[in-house]
Amino acid sequence: MLAIGCDHGGFNLKPVIIKYLEDHNIAYKDFGTFSSESCDYPDYALKVAEAVASGECEKGILICGTGIGVSIAANKVKGIRAALCGDVFSAKATRAHNNANILTLGERVTGPGLALEIVDAFLNTNFDGGRHAVRVNKITEIENKYFK
């Protein structure tokens, strides 16, 4: 299952991505927001990040105006590797090399067509492992050092 969430800055892009998920028979859980009223992005980033970190959901997608705020907030949760991607190459690379488990997008900087290409690349690229696993394990070691 995929976790998805946004703040008001990502509210219009979220239904476009949800339609993609439904069209591709990808199960998802929507963590909000459910209106375009101003809200705080860390609240939704935390919900999605906790769902992914706990194993309730395999991966997540977060959307805000730029994708930066939700990325910063989600990466505060141990076990999360949230990556802001504005192009298809980065979406493939972050899955293949970083084993990123949350994709973040910026509705105000990425149009819906490109956003769907990025989502598709993120969801359909596997982690390469090997030398990349060594590097991801080093990230986990950093987390273990600083997340008490």
- Among the listed residues 6, 57, 64, 85, the single catalytic one is 64
Annotation marks residue 64 as catalytic: yes
Residues whose CB falls within 8 Å of the CB of residue 62, separated by 6 or more in sequence, listed in order: 4, 5, 6, 10, 44, 45, 48, 70, 71, 74, 82, 102, 103, 104, 105
- DSSP designation for 57: S
In angstroms, rounded to a whole number, what is the distance separating the alpha carbons of residues 56 and 105?
21
Pairing of strands 2-6, 28-30: parallel
Catalytic residue check, 97? yes
Distance in angstroms (rounded) separating the CA atoms of residues 42 and 55: 20
How far apart CA 142 and CA 147 sit, in angstroms, is 8
Residues annotated as catalytic are 64, 97
